[in-house]
Amino acid sequence: MKSHLRIPLVIAAAALAAPAAISQEAKPLKPFNQPPQVIVVTAAEFKFTPPVIHVKEGQNIQLQVTATDKTHGIRINPFPEGGGAGTPPGLEFLYGEDCYKLKKGETVKIELIGHTPGTYAFSCCKACGSGHKRMKGELIVDP
């Protein structure tokens, strides 16, 4: 007789749990929970390739940056160019690195989201030779 009582309770519990599962699926995923758009970047001979990177606002981006000739670095300014005092950062990084070290032949993955349209400068942040100061690029967040 006890076994007959268990079946309705199990069915009732499953019925109550089902709407919760459906409502969770209907919610949009947070950007860092979505698969990132992968962009391959190389650092070599005092330049980044590509030097200008366009991304969509709100899209999860993964930059896969590889130094091919020697050790370099990359620092991406989280504040848009032309922002005034008190301007909040427009880029959100999954990890809080300031300067990513790029050892020759190794790939560093930088995951970020552009929340504010604008142009964000990036540059080499490890002294890499005579052309170090020219090693720059732009990440442009498009609306």
Domain spans in the chain, listed from the N-terminal domain onward: 31-142
Q: What is the pLDDT of residue 84?
A: 75
How many Å apart are CA 143 and CA 126, to the nearest integer?
A: 32
C-alpha span between 134 and 139 (Å, rounded):
16
pTM for this predicted structure? 0.76
Over the chain (143 residues), the average pLDDT of each successive run of 10 is 48 44 46 87 97 96 97 96 87 90 96 96 96 96 97
Q: What fold characterizes domain 31-142?
A: Immunoglobulin-like (2.60.40)
| DSSP E strands, the chain | 37-44, 47-49, 52-56, 60-67, 72-76, 91-93, 100-102, 107-114, 118-123, 136-142
* Model pLDDT, residue 7: 46
pLDDT value at residue 8:
47
Residue 83 pLDDT? 81
Tell which phi-psi region holds residue 68, choosing left (phi > 0), alpha (psi between -120 and 50) or beta: alpha
Task: Please tell me the predicted confidence (pLDDT) of residue 72.
Answer: 97
